[in-house]
């Protein structure tokens, strides 16, 4: 996974992938309404499919804000055995074919039936994609906590060394008598800085523990129910 992908970006990807589920079902609903004579439904269905297709392109290839497919797991999901990219593009082609048939008014029910048959397997696939992005988010959070812990350890090491230096300085100042008074003031300031550093370390550790606890308490996403085997991709459907 690329190290430059932030949690904010993955959060946006999770939202977009979740919206894809809603768009796909809304498109199918309005295709069925258009088939039953709702004049406004056809335009709504076409708008849903256009947004769905554009969003899929952003998720896969990226744009000025989004990275596209950025990890091996996502690469495997979209282009490996699951063939998510191929199946989603197949759904878009089926939807466009159904819309064209409805606009032509031929009365051919097969394009709409083919689209509806594709709906449930697609919904399960889109749920898998959302879960994959959530898994990427957990990886980002774990990496951030690991970096945070490493920073805390490093600061703790510096603080320990500074404490030793400050202690030695106080001893030297005491041995110097009146000539060491000014130096004693400096060691007091250094001791105050060390205390502030210790407080910073403690806050970093506490924040990390709170983040880990929040992640552990986060409710698990609803798992997609097992469905029928994926339909083979048929390119060129119109």
Indicate if the pLDDT at residue 34 is higher than 90.
yes
Q: Around 237, how many Cα atoms within 13 Å sit in the side-chain half-sphere? A: 24
Extract the tokens encoding 115.
């689209």
In angstroms, the CA 124 to CA 9 distance is 23
Segment among 69-73, 111-115, 152-156 with least mean pLDDT: 152-156
Q: Residue 10: helix, strand or coil by DSSP? A: helix
Least confident of 46-60, 78-92, 135-149, 206-220: 206-220
Output helix, strand, coil percentages for the chain, rounded to the nearest 5: 80, 0, 20
Average pLDDT of every residue of the chain:
80
Specify the CATH architecture of the domain 7-140: Up-down Bundle (1.20)
Token pair, residue 162, equals: 């500074």
Question: pLDDT tens across 46-101, in order?
Answer: 999 999 999 999 999 999 999 999 999 999 999 999 999 999 999 999 999 999 99
Q: Answer yes or no: is pLDDT of 31 > 50.
A: yes
Domain ranges for the chain, please list them: 7-140, 142-217
Q: How far apart are CA 71 and CA 50, in angstroms?
A: 26
- pLDDT-derived band at 5 (thresholds 50, 70, 90) equals confident
């Amino acid at each position: 996974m690329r190290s430059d992908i932030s949690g904010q970006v993955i959060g946006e990807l999770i939202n977009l992938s979740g919206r894809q589920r809603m768009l796909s079902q809304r498109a199918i609903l309005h295709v069925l309404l258009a088939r039953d004579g709702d004049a406004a439904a056809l335009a709504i269905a076409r708008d849903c499919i256009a947004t769905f297709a554009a969003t899929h392109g952003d998720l896969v290839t990226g744009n000025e804000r989004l990275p596209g497919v950025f990890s091996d797991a996502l690469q495997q999901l979209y282009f490996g055995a699951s063939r998510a990219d191929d199946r989603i593009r197949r759904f878009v082609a089926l939807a466009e074919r159904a819309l064209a048939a409805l606009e032509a008014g031929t009365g051919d029910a097969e394009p709409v039936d083919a689209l509806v048959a594709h709906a449930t397997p697609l919904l399960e696939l889109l749920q898998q994609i959302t879960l994959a992005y959530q898994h990427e988010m957990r990886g980002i959070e774990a990496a951030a906590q690991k970096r945070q812990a490493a920073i805390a350890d490093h600061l703790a090491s510096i603080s320990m060394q500074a404490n030793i230096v400050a202690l030695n300085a106080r001893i030297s100042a005491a041995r110097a008598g009146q000539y060491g008074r000014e130096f004693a003031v400096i060691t007091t300031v250094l001791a105050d800085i060390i205390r502030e550093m210790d407080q910073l370390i403690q806050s970093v550790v506490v924040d990390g523990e709170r983040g880990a606890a929040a992640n552990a308490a986060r409710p698990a996403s609803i798992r997609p129910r097992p469905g029928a085997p994926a339909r083979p991709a048929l390119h060129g459907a119109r």
